């Protein structure tokens, strides 16, 4: 049986594009309406893997997704980056001045804020995903409503693009994580790891950790603090590092264990940018 991959969104969504690029064009997908549903799909074994956006270069990190991965002990088995171009699309024949509402995924709307400043009368409405809106506009023949989505979405659902490339930054990119709910076999050629660290709240505790990472020649690509919700004003640090030798990296983990209240390896995988 072919594996099924849980994605946020439907055919044509950026998650769908990533699933096809990462797992092959023929990949079967479990279309989910939220990131929580993506995690549920994995946990209920409806899917053997999942794709989950974690950060966009313009709109920033999707913080709740760190919590979902951590809470459900999901494993990061890979990552994939794609350039994101946003387009404003409507039913054929509609003009830009006809548009009253623009519906899209909240992350998509955030990436186009500058464009919409010039159209203050358009009401921006957060929706499940970029493609779902386009499908609805077509199926329900919705006039005066626009979607913000990829070019592929316009052709799949028969919409007309009124304005291309409306994202604020020309080089706009989203990083997606590839997830599994089970202990996976080690990824061969892995050179990147995602860690969660909880530190004692004392002077210098974070800097000590960072110094060890420097001493062991790890290249930190990201550090993200996320609130520990049951202890107000305490934070967990989610850190991504690149390493050369996995054996050497395991030694770093041993050293860090003694210096942290909690150390969790969220995944060891291949750097998607190399
Ligand atoms: O709505 C979509 O098409 C999605 O795949 C979601 C999503 C996101 O979650 O960030 C994916 C990439 C873009 O950054 C905008 C939206």
pLDDT tens readout for residues 67-111: 999 999 999 999 999 999 999 999 999 999 999 999 999 999 999
**Residue 126 in this model has a pLDDT that exceeds 70:** yes
- Could you tell me the pLDDT band of residue 152, with boundaries at 50, 70 and 90? very high
pLDDT tens readout for residues 171-182: 999 999 999 998
Is the beta carbon of 84 within 6 A of some atom in ligand 1?
yes
Strands 173-180 and 75-83: antiparallel
Beta carbons within 10 angstroms of residue 173's beta carbon: 14
Structural domains of the chain, with CATH: 4-83+172-180 (3.40.190.10), 87-163 (3.40.190.10), 192-269 (3.30.70.260)
Q: Which of 32, 56, 128, 131 to mutate to test the pocket of ligand 1 (most atoms within 8 A of CB)?
A: 56
Token pair for 120: 């203050």
**Cα(248) to centroid of ligand 1, in Å?**
36
Residue 184 has a pLDDT of 77
**Cα(268) to centroid of ligand 1, in Å?**
24
Is the beta carbon of 175 within 6 A of some atom in ligand 1?
no
ipTM confidence score: 0.96
Token pair for 100: 């009253």
**Cα(62) to centroid of ligand 1, in Å?**
10
Mean pLDDT computed over 159-187: 94
Is the beta carbon of 147 within 6 A of some atom in ligand 1?
no
Residue 186 has a pLDDT of 81
Is the beta carbon of 109 within 6 A of some atom in ligand 1?
no
Residue 91 has a pLDDT of 98
Is the beta carbon of 13 within 6 A of some atom in ligand 1?
yes
Is the beta carbon of 195 within 6 A of some atom in ligand 1?
no
Is the beta carbon of 14 within 6 A of some atom in ligand 1?
yes
Q: Which numbered atom of ligand 1 lies nearest the CA of 56? A: 14
Is the beta carbon of 8 within 6 A of some atom in ligand 1?
yes
Q: Which numbered atom of ligand 1 lies nearest the CA of 14? A: 5
Q: Which of 21, 31, 82, 105 to mutate to test the pocket of ligand 1 (most atoms within 8 A of CB)?
A: 105
Residue 3 has a pLDDT of 81
Q: Which of 7, 10, 11, 15 to mutate to test the pocket of ligand 1 (most atoms within 8 A of CB)?
A: 15
Closest by Cα among 235, 224, 232 to 262: 235
Residue 1 has a pLDDT of 58
b/e map of 28-43 (b: 16 or more CB within 10 Å)?
ebbbbeebebbbbbbe
Mean pLDDT computed over 206-212: 96
């Amino acid at each position: 049986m072919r594996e099924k991959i849980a994605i946020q969104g439907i055919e044509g969504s950026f998650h769908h594009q990533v699933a096809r690029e990462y797992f092959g064009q023929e990949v079967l997908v479990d279309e989910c309406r939220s990131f929580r549903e993506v995690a549920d799909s994995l946990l209920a074994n409806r899917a053997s893997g999942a794709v989950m956006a974690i950060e966009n270069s313009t709109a920033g990190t999707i913080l709740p997704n760190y919590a979902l991965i951590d809470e459900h002990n999901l494993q990061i088995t890979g990552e994939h980056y794609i350039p994101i171009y946003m387009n404003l699309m409507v039913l054929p024949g509609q003009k830009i001045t006809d548009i009253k509402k623009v519906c899209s995924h909240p992350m998509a709307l955030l990436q186009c804020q500058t464009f919409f400043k010039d159209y203050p009368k358009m009401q921006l409405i957060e929706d499940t995903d970029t493609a779902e809106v386009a499908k609805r506009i077509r199926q329900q023949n919705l006039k005066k409503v626009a979607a913000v989505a990829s070019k592929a979405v316009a052709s799949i659902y028969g919409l007309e693009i009124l304005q291309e490339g409306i994202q604020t930054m020309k080089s706009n990119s989203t990083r997606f994580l590839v997830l599994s709910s089970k202990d996976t076999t080690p990824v061969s050629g892995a050179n990147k790891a995602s860690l969660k660290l909880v530190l004692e709240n004392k002077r210098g505790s974070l800097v000590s950790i960072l110094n060890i990472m420097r001493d062991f020649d790890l290249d930190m690509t990201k550090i993200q603090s996320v609130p520990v919700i049951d202890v107000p004003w305490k934070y967990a640090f989610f850190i991504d590092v690149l390493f050369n030798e996995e054996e050497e990296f395991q030694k770093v983990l041993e050293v860090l264990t003694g210096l942290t209240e909690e150390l969790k390896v969220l995944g060891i995988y291949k750097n998607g940018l190399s």
